[in-house]
């Protein structure tokens, strides 16, 4: 039994004294203890070494006492497992030297055996669960198939993902074949994560906002729906689409337990667009953590008042930034723990 099950209760829609809180990307780059490990080990070594990944996962919990931990990993371990090379270049980001640009490029892309290709993630989950000692739940995650496709086709990060969208619109058959392979791999991966001990799953559709509402249905939502359908009986699923306010209604009807909201959508609009019943998560602008701590606390209380304490998980509207002062991150967490309606 999880001792602090506030997060899981909020996902079920139960009434709570205060909403739970965690922060996207809380395991990582704003923490000095993480930066010490970063000096010694490269990015994928940190991801692929269970001892390191589990240690990084629990670092913010020791420091701040969030209500949930999220496993330190990366969405791009999926294409790696599918036989697509992924490098993480310092001061550049992800780089895929052999992007998928046509049907022939798909021939070498596999749907892998999860234990063979991603067993290190499952080992990291088991080690993390031992360190957490059932104090709080552990979240596992994956990127949405559309977001993974963006990197696989573009070959790197982008402001427009024009090559990725170009493949979808000029050769939709190849695009859908790639999306389905990513979806099949992601479902198998997330199922194994739950079996290994993850208490909830989040799907990050980081680049969903690049698509029009019509294209979103075709190239993103239908594949996330497959993931929700496959996972929802095993564990609660949170869907987070950055810039995807237009899809909140469809996401709310997907069978997901909660929806992440970014800072461009007000609590009132998020409740309205999602139908007013489903648990919402978010949506503090990560840059707002550069405000003075007293201001942060005031804004967090206002945010909870606007969302309501029930059917709500306090979070940022995207990942925490590397330049956030430790005191400010602490003020964000403290404001939630001190909350009284």
Q: What pLDDT sits at residue 72?
A: 98
How far is Cα 204 from Cα 121, in angstroms, rounded to an integer?
A: 17
Is 225 known as a binding-site position? no
* Burial grade of 28 (CB within 10 A; 0-12, 13-18, 19 or more): buried
How far is Cα 163 from Cα 175, in angstroms, rounded to an integer?
A: 11
What Rg value do the Cα atoms of the chain yield, rounded? Answer: 19
Is 26 known as a binding-site position? yes
How far is Cα 151 from Cα 204, in angstroms, rounded to an integer?
A: 14
Q: What pLDDT sits at residue 6?
A: 98
Q: What pLDDT sits at residue 153?
A: 98
Query: Could you write out the three-class secondary structure of 294-307?
Result: HHHHHHHHHHHHHH
How far is Cα 93 from Cα 44, in angstroms, rounded to an integer?
A: 12
Q: What pLDDT sits at residue 341?
A: 74
Is 46 known as a binding-site position? no
**Listed residue (172, 148, 160) closest to 96, CA to CA:** 148
**Listed residue (222, 111, 219, 227) closest to 169, CA to CA:** 219
Per-residue pLDDT of the chain (341 residues; tens, 9 = 90+): 999 999 999 999 999 999 999 999 999 999 999 999 999 999 999 999 999 999 999 999 999 999 999 999 999 999 999 999 999 999 899 999 999 999 999 999 999 999 999 999 999 999 999 999 999 999 999 999 999 999 999 999 999 999 999 999 999 999 999 999 999 999 999 999 999 999 999 999 999 999 999 999 999 999 999 999 999 999 999 999 999 999 999 999 999 999 999 999 999 999 999 999 999 999 999 999 999 999 999 999 999 999 999 999 999 999 999 999 999 999 999 999 999 87
- As a residue count, the chain comes to 341
| Two structure tokens written together for 197 | 């001990």
* CA 66 centroid distance within chain: 16
**Listed residue (182, 134, 163) closest to 3, CA to CA:** 134
**Listed residue (51, 118, 115) closest to 79, CA to CA:** 118
SS3 31: coil
Is 25 known as a binding-site position? yes
For strand 87-89 and strand 93-95, is the pairing parallel, antiparallel, or unpaired? antiparallel
Is 27 known as a binding-site position? yes
135-172 as b/e: b if 16+ CB within 10 A: ebbbbbbbbbbbbbbbbbbbbbebeebebbbebbeeee
Q: What share of the chain is helix, strand, coil (3-state, %, to 5)?
A: 50, 10, 35
Structural contact between residues 7 and 136, judged by C-beta atoms closer than 8 angstroms:
yes
Is 235 known as a binding-site position? no
Q: What pLDDT sits at residue 34?
A: 98
Packing angle of the helix pair 172-196, 222-231 (nearest 10 deg) = 20
Is 285 known as a binding-site position? no
CATH 3.20.20.210 fits 6-337, yes or no: yes
Structural contact between residues 243 and 262, judged by C-beta atoms closer than 8 angstroms:
yes
How far is Cα 253 from Cα 277, in angstroms, rounded to an integer?
A: 11
User: Is the bond into 283 cis (omega within 30 degrees of 0)?
Assistant: yes
Is 7 known as a binding-site position? no
Task: Report the run of H or E that residue 187 belongs to, with start and end.
Answer: helix 172-196
**Listed residue (105, 102, 142) closest to 121, CA to CA:** 142
How far is Cα 221 from Cα 63, in angstroms, rounded to an integer?
A: 36
């Amino acid at each position: 039994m999880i001792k602090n099950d506030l997060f899981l209760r909020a996902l079920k829609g139960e009434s709570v004294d205060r909403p739970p809180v965690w922060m996207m990307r809380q395991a990582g780059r704003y923490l000095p203890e993480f930066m010490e490990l970063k000096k010694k080990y490269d990015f994928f070594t940190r991801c692929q070494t269970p001892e390191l990944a589990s240690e990084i996962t629990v670092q913010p919990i020791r420091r701040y006492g969030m209500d949930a931990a999220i496993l330190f990993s990366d969405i791009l371990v999926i294409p790696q497992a599918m036989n697509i090379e992924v490098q993480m270049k310092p001061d550049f980001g992800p780089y895929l030297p052999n992007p998928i640009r046509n049907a022939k490029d798909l021939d070498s892309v596999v749907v892998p055996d999860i234990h063979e290709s991603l067993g290190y993630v499952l080992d990291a989950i088991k080690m993390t669960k031992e360190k957490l000692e059932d104090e709080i739940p552990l979240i596992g995650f994956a990127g949405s198939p559309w977001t993974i496709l963006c990197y696989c086709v573009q070959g790197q990060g982008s402001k427009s993902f024009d090559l990725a969208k170009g493949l979808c619109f000029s050769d939709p058959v190849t695009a859908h074949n790639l999306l389905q392979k990513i979806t099949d791999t992601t479902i198998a991966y997330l199922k194994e994560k739950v079996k290994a001990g993850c208490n909830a799953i989040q799907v990050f559709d980081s680049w969903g906002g690049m698509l029009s509402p019509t294209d979103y249905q075709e190239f993103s939502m239908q594949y996330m729906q497959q993931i929700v359908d496959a996972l929802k009986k095993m564990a609660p699923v949170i869907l987070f689409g950055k810039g995807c306010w237009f899809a909140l209604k469809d996401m709310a009807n997907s069978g997901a337990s909660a929806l992440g909201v970014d800072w461009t959508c007000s609590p009132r609009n998020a409740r309205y667009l999602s139908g007013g019943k489903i648990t919402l998560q978010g949506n503090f602008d990560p840059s707002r953590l550069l405000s003075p701590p007293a201001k942060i606390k005031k804004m967090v209380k206002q945010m909870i008042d606007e969302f309501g304490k029930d059917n709500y998980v306090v979070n940022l509207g995207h990942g925490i930034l590397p330049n956030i002062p430790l005191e400010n991150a602490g003020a964000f967490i403290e404001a939630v723990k001190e909350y009284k309606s």
